[in-house]
Amino acid sequence: MKPNDEKDARDDDAGADDDAGIQNQNLAVDDASKDDDATTMIDAKRAREETEEEAKDARGKAKSRHGKERAAREMDLQTLPEALGEWKTNAELELGNLWTRQRLRLLDWFETKSAINKCIVSCPASALREKMRALRDDGVYGSSMIPYLQLLRDVFDETDQYKDDLDEELDFNDFFDDDDDESEDDESEDDDSEDDESEDSAEEIPVVSRAPRAEAAAEPPQRAGASRSAPSTEEMDEIKIKFSKFTQFLGQYFSEKRLEVENVVEIVDHAARAGFDDPQEVNKFLEVMQKQNKIMYDQSESQWTVYIL
């Protein structure tokens, strides 16, 4: 082979090597680009997944905040007055029942309103009653009952703020009439007039002492609405407890019947079945509840009726 031919062959081999090197470099660049694209795609996918997860969490939190039952704020019921603590316990049960009905998609406005009325009637704090009345009467925009339940949760969580602002303590004068005292005064006046008219013949009338009254084996329990002397402290406590139970009964009765007004005859009849078998006592309890602004007791001549305020 000639020298020029050998040189041309070497040049051709060098050119081929250069072309191969360039091609390998291009392949390496392509591979790197593909790797970058794959990494970018993976990163983008992860970003989408994270975004979707965050959005899902946000929706879940919003749903939890607006559509699910919230736990009650921790509260030591032992520090509350007995009447307020008992009311709080019953109110929480009532709210729990409403949430159960809501989860079953069975809760409607009438049932919600009846439950609010029940809590109002049995509540011993006027400020709390006003909060519940405002919720009941002003309403919440929309047809869902969930906002009502959430707002009731807020009201119940404030219970301990009203422990020093309860209704005035009920006493003897709230539950008992003073007819006996009036009748005794009338009898005393009659006796005085008779004595004045028969002063001259008084000496001729023999003095007859009264026979001692026989002691009863067991004195019957005192009932509200009776005309008598003041009861003992124990009897008064029993009357207050019974009155508290009656307010719960009345609230339950109106709630179950979905009523806002009822004839007194019907109330007396159902109260007797619930253990309040003295109509006079029931009448007095209703008068006391009206005094506390829990109900309106209309004692018109035509028909006696009770309205939930």
Q: Which of 278, 268, 272 is nearest to 305 (CA)?
A: 268
Paired with 55 in beta bridges are none
Distance CA 271, CA 253 (A): 9
Cβ contact 118:252 at 8 Å: yes
Residue the block writes with tokens 């009264």: 210
pLDDT of residue 10: 55
Q: Are 285 and 277 in contact (CB under 8 A)?
A: no
Predicted confidence (pLDDT) at residue 4 exceeds the cutoff of 70: no
Q: State the first-to-last Cα distance of the chain, in angstroms, to the nearest integer.
A: 123
Which helix (H) or strand (E) segment holds residue 78: the answer is: none
d(CA 273, CA 249): 11
Backbone φ, ψ for residue 101 (5° rounding): -65, -35
Over 60: is that where the pLDDT of 182 sits? no
Distance CA 159, CA 134 (A): 16
For helices 82-103 and 146-157, the axis angle rounded to 10 degrees is: 160
pLDDT band of residue 12 (cuts 50, 70, 90) is low
Domain boundaries, the chain: 78-162, 168-181+223-309
Confidence of residue 192 (pLDDT cuts 50, 70, 90): low
Q: For residues 222 and 231, is the Cβ–Cβ distance under 8 A?
A: yes
pLDDT over 90 (residue 66): no
- Cα 19 from Cα 12, distance rounded (Å): 10
pLDDT digits (tens, 9 = 90+) for 194-221: 554 444 444 443 333 333 333 433 444 5
Amino acid, single-letter form, for residue 282: V
pLDDT exceeds cutoff 50 at 86: yes
- From 92, 91, 88, select the one nearest 71 (Cα to Cα): 92
CB atoms within 10 A of CB 157: 16
Q: Hey, what amino acid is at 244?
A: S
Q: In what order do the strands lie in the sheet with 261-263?
A: 261-263, 304-308, 295-299
Q: Find the radius of gyration of the CA atoms of the chain.
A: 42
pLDDT in tens, 230-279: 677 888 888 888 988 899 899 889 888 888 889 999 999 999 999 999 99
How much is the mean pLDDT over the chain?
74
pLDDT, tens only, 108-148: 998 999 999 999 999 999 999 999 999 999 887 778 899 99
The gap from C-alpha 128 to its chain's centroid, in whole angstroms, comes to 10
| Distance, CA of 120 to CA of 131 (rounded, Å) | 9
At 217 the pLDDT is 37
Q: Is the dihedral of CA 57, 58, 61, 67 positive or negative?
A: negative
pLDDT digits 0-9 by tens, 158-174: 999 999 888 887 776 77
How far apart CA 242 and CA 223 sit, in angstroms, is: 10
Domain 168-181+223-309 has CATH 1.10.10.10: yes
